[in-house]
Amino acid sequence: MGKRAHGQTLGVAVMSAIESEGVVLGGLPEAQLPAAPLRPRRAVVRGAAHRIAGVVFIVCLLVFMIGPIAWLALRAFSGLWQYPQLYPKDWTLSGWRQVFNDPNLRHSMRLSFEFAPIVTAASTVICLPAAYAFSRYRFPGRRFLLISLFATNAFPKIGLYISMAGVFYSLNLMGTFLGVVIVQLIGTVVFMTWIPAAAFSAIPRSLEEAARDVGAGPLRVFFRVTFPLAAPAILVAMILSFLASFDEAQGTFLVGVPNYITMPTEMYTLVLNYPEQVAAVFSILLAIPSVVLMAFARKHVMGGRLAEGFQLR
């Protein structure tokens, strides 16, 4: 659930950029220059007090951000570990064996890896044209639709399951592969439209027009000019979709029973019910794809690529 909300927020953020671009960039053509970080300035951390405060802040941040994950990772390999020992006294891989020998868990892991990319692809295919339309055409109700795409997602899902179940049954989607794809797709729509829409808006029309002037057809213009320029933002949106789909638990359970039960659903059971080790092992396994994604995407998500989506026309 959580990751989806982050996606929404990002999408909204981009949208705000659509609307606020004037104030950020107003009268500042230099803003289009890549915003490289400044040279280090010794003045920033002048004085020992400052430096100590900085170090304390950084240490606290490290413990706060990484501590829980590291502590959990230790658990995955620990045997008996009683309070108040600082680290486990004996080490074991039994938790790992237990996870890999459970056919249900293996199956749900495979399912998760199947659904997430498919949902991402489907969402991209459905939403990109819409994103393009939102950025290029001023049709009546445009802003209303954009905002309601987000607003409907702000309704707590738990209040909707019964009516959602009714809809899925009426359309014969319950328990089907397609049904699960749809229920996960719902959570990805917002940022798959908003982030690319912002990116498309960032591309000057003059570029497209120039391409058309030299005789390129509209499709060719889109794929040779518009799409490559918007690709970084689209990639970010796709990564967020992937994570949202990967993280979806209860909606998937609602629609997917009995054949499609994915990892996050199993995770609830594990976390609350199993020996701590097994839960820790499973957590690590679940985190692996995300970490791989992060290694791959960090440069784009962090390195100003997202910010690029903000610099709009």
Nearer to another protein (CB atom), residue 193 or residue 201: 193
The whole-angstrom separation of Cα 237 and Cα 305 is 12
- Closest separation in Å from C-beta 277 to another protein: 11
The whole-angstrom separation of Cα 229 and Cα 166 is 42
Nearer to another protein (CB atom), residue 96 or residue 132: 132
In this structure, what is the dihedral angle of CA atoms 197, 203, 204, 205, given to the nearest 10 degrees? Answer: -60
Nearer to another protein (CB atom), residue 129 or residue 204: 129
Nearer to another protein (CB atom), residue 212 or residue 231: 231
- Closest separation in Å from C-beta 164 to another protein: 5
Torsions phi, psi of 78, nearest 5?
-95, 145
Cis? peptide before 258, omega within 30° of 0: yes
The single-letter DSSP state of residue 175 is T
Question: Which position has the token pair 């490559």?
Answer: 228
What residues contact residue 191 under an 8 Å CB cut-off, 6+ apart? 7, 8, 10, 11, 237, 240, 241
- Closest separation in Å from C-beta 98 to another protein: 12
The whole-angstrom separation of Cα 233 and Cα 124 is 12
The single-letter DSSP state of residue 159 is G
Nearer to another protein (CB atom), residue 212 or residue 271: 271
Nearer to another protein (CB atom), residue 92 or residue 250: 250
Helices and strands in the chain, H and E counts? 15, 0
Name beta bridge partners: 78. Answer: 91
- Closest separation in Å from C-beta 199 to another protein: 11
The whole-angstrom separation of Cα 97 and Cα 94 is 5
- Closest separation in Å from C-beta 74 to another protein: 9
- Closest separation in Å from C-beta 210 to another protein: 17
- Closest separation in Å from C-beta 137 to another protein: 8
- Closest separation in Å from C-beta 215 to another protein: 20
Nearer to another protein (CB atom), residue 100 or residue 161: 161
Nearer to another protein (CB atom), residue 92 or residue 290: 290
Could you tell me the CA-to-CA distances from 255 to 120, 122, 187, 251, 268 in Å, in that order?
18, 18, 14, 6, 17
